[in-house]
Amino acid sequence: DVPVPGKASTRFDLEKETELRFEVEAGEAAEQVELELLTGMAEVFGSELNRNKKYTFGPGSKIAVFTWQGCSVNLYGKPEVAYVSKDTPMLLYLNTHAALEQMRKQAERDNERGPRVMVVGPTDVGKSTVCRLLLSYAVRVGRRPTLVELDVGQSGVSVPGTVSALCIERPADVEEGFSVQAPLVYHFGSTTPGTNIKLYNKLTSCLADVFSRRCEVNRKASVGGCIINTCGWVKGSGYQALVHCASAFEVDVVLVLDHERLYNELKRDLPHFVRVVLLPKSGGVVERSKECRRDTRDEKIREYFYGFRGVTFYPFSYEVRFSDVRIYKIGAPSIPDSCLPLGMSQDDTQLKLVPVTPGRDLTYHVLSVSSAEDGEEGARKGIVESPVCGFIVVTNVDTQTQVMKVLSPAPRPLPRHTLLIMDIRFMDMK
């Protein structure tokens, strides 16, 4: 083999049904690691590797190269860790895929709908990875499943603080994941469902409605079913949100990763026809620190504006007059029931649009641009349930001139004038 100049290479010979796990050091200065398949066949989270092609993984990547038949690979560069494991749950995951595929076949035959699957478990058990795997396997056998992303902290589809749905048409790219084209995205506004559980449940229902309507007119989407990725919050209201999601989507299968109590609770609380399955987590899943999560979120927003890997975007910066936009926060601070105006419930306050007066404290906040038609009072009604068409970040506020400066992926003017404020901030350090 021909080593890349200046980069050390290490060869790994993998027996069948084993995986090579490696991590790339985090941090700006960290060196990338390249992976090359030399002989045999292998896959990364359900996507097959091409032989003699170098795949590049950037700082912070945590990767598993799994082989069903055996293979040899080269790593170039200095991974933080790299080891081969024989102990992986991949066979169980493959069996899960096979069972879902049976359900799709049956759906096709009986003119029914395909499996709707919810993946649950605490943080860092590999939920997103299992979703990616099942979706990639499904498209590889010609299905068109839908990914429903309900993890508002670590969304694989859009910026943090959103929930979304994406039709999957091809396997995830080994280096970049799923190609994100035309996702359906809703504004939630913060990184944990707990800040506004009513809104979270409402948006889950919105996604379920849209998905069901699509299934009615698109047979392939209906048979393909969906894979729902959820948040790692599995207690209290977090648990209730999972039960709500199961009912909104009328899920058929729940995959519980590595959490026996959650498994038992869901078995008890969901209708008997829902198949609840307990699956082990992979020993390769790496726990991520708070900082690491925050960095990933930041990176996701940066990517939205600046692109990533080979693709560079050039965002625009321009001024927006306060008088040209309406900014809202969804949800008023909750007040004791006894203080609520007569006839008003706590739900109403959590879904209420509260006008935000632009001030200096708006600086660095991410704002969603609502797709709701501009217009007066009447239009306000649909805003919470309207998808968003994009995001901007406020970079400066001038209260004197009543103007704010924004970072935007597209040139002025804003496509719409209803903006929803997130708790999430982004400081542009470029």
Q: Tell the smallest beta-carbon distance from residue 44 to ligand ADP (Å).
A: 9
DSSP letter at 360 equals G
Q: Supply the minimum distance, in Å, between the C-beta of residue 34 and ligand ADP.
A: 17
Compare residues 49 and 64 and give the one whose CB is closer to ligand ADP: 64
What torsion, rounded to 10 degrees, do the Cα atoms 400, 402, 407, 409 define? Answer: -160
> Binding of ligand ADP at residue 128 (CB under 6 A)?
yes
Distance CA 291, CA 296 (A): 9
Kindly state whether residue 417 participates in binding ligand ADP, applying the rule CB under 6 A.
Answer: no
Q: Tell me: does residue 243 bind ligand ADP (CB under 6 A).
A: no
3-state secondary structure of 274: coil
CB 126 within 8 A of CB 285: yes
- Does residue 21 interact with ligand ADP by CB under 6 A? yes
Q: Considering the complex, state which of residue 126 and residue 390 has its C-beta at the smaller distance from ligand ADP.
A: 126
- For 228, the 3-state DSSP assignment is strand
Q: Which stretch binds ligand ADP (CB under 6 A): 25-33, 119-127, 380-388, 408-416?
A: 119-127
d(CA 187, CA 391): 10
Instruction: Give yes or no for residue 96 binding ligand ADP (CB under 6 A).
Output: no
Write out the binding residues for ligand ADP, residues 261-300 only, by CB under 6 A: 282, 284-286
DSSP symbols for 393-423: EEEEEETTTTEEEEEESSPSSPS-SEEEEEE
| φ/ψ of residue 123, rounded to 5 | -70, 155
Figure out which of the listed residues 77, 114, 126, 189 binds ligand ADP, where binding follows CB under 6 A. 126
Q: Is 34 in the site for ligand ADP (CB under 6 A)?
A: no
With CB atoms as reference, the residue minimizing the distance to ligand ADP is: 284
Kindly state whether residue 62 participates in binding ligand ADP, applying the rule CB under 6 A.
yes
**CA distance linking residue 303 with residue 316, whole number of Å:** 14
Judged by CB under 6 A, the residue of 97, 116, 127, 259 near ligand ADP is: 127
Q: Catalog residues that contact ligand ADP under the rule CB under 6 A.
A: 21, 62, 64, 123-129, 232, 282, 284-286
